[in-house]
Amino acid sequence: MPRIPKDWKLPQEPGDFLSDVGHTPEPRVTGWMNTPPVEIKRGMHCYAAKPDRLKKMGMPNPREWSAMDDDWKLPENWKETFLDGMKDRLGRFRTFQLFMDICVRCGACADKCHFYIGSGDPKNMPVLRAELLRSIYRQHFTTAGKILGPVAGARELTYERLKELWYYLYQCSECRRCSVFCPYGIDMAEITIMGRELTNLLGLNIDWIAAPVAFCYQTGNHMGIQPHAFVEMLEFFVDEIEEVTGVRVQPDFNRKGAEVLFVTPSGDVFGDPGTYTCMGYMILFHELKKLGLDITWSTYASEGGNFGLFTSNEVMKRLNSKMYAEAKRLGVKWILGGECGHMWRVVNQYMGTMNLELAEGSKMEEPVSPITGTKFENAKSTKMVHITEFTADLIRNNKLKLDPSRNDHLTVTFHDSCNPARGMGLFEEPRYVIKNVCNNFYEMPENTIREQTFCCGGGSGLNAGEDMELRMRGGLPRANAVKYAHEQHGVNMMACICAIDRAVLPDLMTYYVPEVDITGIHELVTNAMVLDGEKKKTVNLRGEPLPGKEDKK
Amino acid sequence: MNVILSLTISSLAIFGLVVIPFLGVWVAHLNVLFGIVIPYIAVIIFFLGMIYRVVKWAKSPVPFRIPTTCSQQKSLPWIKYTYVDKLDNPSTRLGVWGRMILEIFFFRSLFRNSRMQFGTGQDVRYTSSKWLWIGAMAFHYCFLVVIIRHLRFFTQSNPWFVTLTENIDGFFEMFVPAVYQSGLLLGAALTFLLLRRLLSPQLRYISLPADYFPLFLILTIAGTGILMRYGLKTDIVGVKELTMGLANFNPTIPEGVGVLFYIHLFLVSILFAYFPFSKLTHMGGVFLSPTRNLENNNRAVRHINPWNPEVKLHTYEEYEDDYRDKMIGAGLPVDKQPAPKEEKE
């Protein structure tokens, strides 16, 4: 499924990419407020949301439009709507009000943004991306701005400036790397979230976000997979797994009375290499059945990810509600969540707050691993456990038969996905799991991992095909670090715990470091697992020969 | 705004702010206005302004608990959760206190600062860069020391911490009067922050008059202060009489206090009045920042959103209605059996 659009060419050599990047703003004297109106570039933005997506969600101003057009077909009172929306949000989000007021423009965030590093466009410095909105805030909401205008850094909201704001709000992947370095904790992701809520008041979403949202609302998952198709796809995996391992797994769907509900991003059901991770889950659950795991998948809550996070808090809540609603309906005790990035930002920082009422009267309780008896005290309110927490606990208690040598053909590094890193702090669990299932593990340089990890370039709904240049530019710092690990340690596989990573990083690697492939952690886990009743394995889930076990014909 | 315009506007503003008290006191002899009325008004504006700011921030609720987690989370008991983790990814109130203390007193986040550099081709490197942190620490702490030293003008007997600060600050007693390092360092730090803004193309590009003006203002305040102490001597007894009068709400205008002092005092008054309406409010704002001052314990303790919205959901019942036949066809359990088809006649 090559997704690079035909009419756009990447530079031949990745190195050429930087030849047009000055990394310093062009003008020596001119300040940013005097720069000409934004030029909307092909390859640097995503297609506009189609009207039926917005209609499905009951969102304003559904129509056909394109960011390349002069006329964006805005409602007549767009300015009033935007400013009213801003006022409303300033009063509802302390983050927004505070982050509009306290930035001192120290510039510590500037070179922390992967989009700035890769594009050299100064308006991609987080401070300046925020100033685009802040200048409008000053003009319309502060006395100094009203009186002094540009001297106070204030700018009237105009059609051109709205376009500029839109362009740069959809060039931010809400990765929060800048907020790690900000001395006041100003979080560009939060400002982007607010900004995108405002653009949604005018019907200015992108289709790569709006479509998954509408699909998820209707079918329960971003891919728009209907229940029967969802079952078929997993049953296809059952056959695949049997072919490789000789073991026939039996996933359950929508089963009432199960102890645990499993929710994972539908991207892993749909596209390689996420599918191998999905097979990994299925094998793991099958093995654990005998040890007492009573788990079910759901076709209704068949999506862990939540593109509502990139739309508005209301839409996020609407999509997220299915997890608790389904947990209650099925009568499960707790929810196990698969490997996904922004899903875990939502689960860890928003879900309980938004939707815990829906679990009232359910059978849900503090999660306990039925196999080890471990209580997941850190999840006692939200009642949702990350699968690497779950698996790490299994490994720690020697519940899995592992033969890490089966992964010996791999030299693995780990990409901390932005959201579990900076919206959760999930660092040790995945590393513990990897180190127990792989013999060769190396870290990337320290400024590019853990809380300082770099985005894959396609987070927050920007993982489309039409914005490939943006993705390749934004992914440059990550690719650069992978290249280093490849050259220094011979790394040929990068593990990650995010479905968007698994969709985005293969393209990035193909472009910059073709020697490195992408995997989810549970693909590695189950490739190393010695299964009950397995046949003599000669290949792994990808059909690649296992080291030392090649078919001798 | 371009850099020349920004610098011009800021310098002209400072020039004006020096000329006003100069003419006001030297020519028009408005000593009462500049020595008593304006300082009082400025202090009132400062306090009311800051209260207004903080109340405005505080009135805006925190719907979600969204700390930026900069270290390992508290998870399974055997997964290391060290004191560093407790501070950079706190799970308790105590940890949050620690994080905030580090942030407010030691600029923890700024300390992480790194610098990105391009090598050849696509090679990007990141090196630790502590200069901004050093400059910021030097500026803020010197400013604090200077403020503490100035308390001697507002108290009859010097409190112990003022004396202590003075003694440490004037440790190198090479000159008479003792040269306070804080004043000189303050000037140096401000100059660094200013040069950084002017020399870095990125910073020059984003900087506004609102960035240069406070630097110029504080530099001028420090300059006039230093000039009074080491250069054009001021009647220090007269000054203390005036400041004590202000502090005791029994203001007087003693004779013989030079115009330089009035300029200094006027600029300080401007700084006070300007403070709540400028980026300098970061002093108050940092305490309220939701990405720093909250625990990362959402999954263990529920955070309440005071305006949690009612939203329209696509319920399971509706979902089953939409797909019932397909679900039955795929062998999925359904809650409601399909209505028996009407018999064909």
Answer whether residue B13 is part of any domain.
Answer: yes
Statement: residue A5 has pLDDT above 50: no
B102 to chain A: closest CA residue: A183
Window 4-33 of B: residues touching A by CB (8 A cutoff) are 4-6, 9
- Residue of chain B whose Cα is closest to the Cα of A384: B299
CB-based contact B217:B18 (threshold 8 Å): no
Residue B56 confidence (pLDDT) above 90? yes
Q: Please indicate whether residue B51 or residue B169 has the higher confidence score (pLDDT).
A: B51
**Tokens, residue B267:** 């600029």
Shared domain for B233 and B333, answered yes or no, is no
Report how many Cβ contacts below 8 Å link chain A to chain B.
Answer: 342
Residue B297 covered by a domain: no
B243 alpha carbon, distance to own chain's centre: 27
A434 and A324: one domain? yes
Residue for token digits 């300033």? Answer: A90
Q: Give yes or no for residue A27 having a pLDDT over 80.
A: no
Query: Cβ of A22 under 8 Å from any chain B Cβ?
Result: no
A534 within a domain of the structure (yes/no): no
Pairing between strand B114-118 and B124-128? antiparallel
Query: What CA–CA distances, in Å, run from B188 to B11, B177, B219, B222, B311?
Result: 19, 20, 9, 11, 56
Domain shared by A192 and A311, yes or no: no
User: Are residues B218 and B110 part of one domain?
Assistant: yes
Tell me the pLDDT band of A310, cut-offs 50, 70 and 90: very high
- Note down the domain range covering B100: 3-288
Q: Is the domain of A250 the same as that of A183?
A: no
Indicate if A137 and A244 belong to the same structural domain.
no
The answer to whether residues A38 and A22 belong to one domain is yes
Tell me whether residue B300 is in a domain.
Answer: no
Q: Please report, for the domain that includes residue B214, its CATH number.
A: 1.20.950.20
In a domain, B295, yes or no: no
Any idea of the CA torsion for B313, B316, B317, B322, to the nearest 10 degrees? Answer: 90
Specify if B299 maps to a domain.
no
pLDDT digits (tens, 9 = 90+) for B151-173: 989 888 878 888 888 878 776 66
pLDDT in tens, A209-222: 999 999 999 999 99
* A242 and A317 fall within a common domain: yes
Residue A157 sits in the same domain as residue A126:
yes
* Residue A539 resides in a domain: no
Contact A44, A171 (CB under 8 A): yes
B313 and A227: CB-CB below 8 Å? no
**Is A298's Cβ below 8 Å from some Cβ in B?**
no
Residue A12 has pLDDT above 60, yes or no: no
* A186, A232: one domain: no
Q: Is A197 left (phi over 0), alpha (psi -120 to 50) or beta?
A: alpha
Is residue B82 one of the residues assigned to a domain?
Answer: yes
A326 touches chain B (CB under 8 A): yes
Which token pair is B274?
Answer: 């300007």
> Is the same domain home to A219 and A334?
yes
Stretch (H or E) spanning A279: helix A274-289
Q: Is residue A549 in a domain?
A: no
Is A375 part of any domain? Answer: yes
Report yes or no on A326 lying in a domain: yes
Query: What is d(CA B32, CA B8) in angstroms, rounded to the nearest whole number?
Result: 31
- Domain co-membership, A181 together with A323: no
Is B301 among the domain residues? no
A102: which chain B residues are within 8 Å (Cβ-Cβ)?
A: 279, 281-282, 285-286, 289
pLDDT at residue A3 above 50? Answer: no
State residue A517 phi and psi, 5-degree precision: -110, 170
Structural domain range at position A423: 213-528
Q: What is the pLDDT of residue A2?
A: 33
Residue B9 in contact with residue A149, Cβ under 8 Å? no
Q: Are residues B246 and B335 in the same domain?
A: no
Total domains, chain B: 2
pLDDT in tens, B293-302: 999 999 999 9
- Domains: count for chain A: 2
As a whole number of angstroms, the distance between CA A432 and CA A369 comes to 18
- Using a CB–CB cutoff of 8 Å, tell me whether A453 touches chain B: no
Does A551 reside within a domain? no
| Residue B64 resides in a domain | yes
B324–chain A Cβ distance below 8 A for any pair: no
Q: Note whether A75 and A188 are same-domain residues.
A: yes
| Co-location of B255 and B340 in the same domain | no
Q: Are residues A238 and A139 in the same domain?
A: no
DSSP at A68: T
Q: What is the pLDDT of residue A4?
A: 38
* A542 in a structural domain: no
Residue B175 and residue B244 share a domain: yes
Tell me the torsion sign for CA atoms A69, A71, A73, A78: positive
- Judge if B233 and B326 occupy the same domain: no
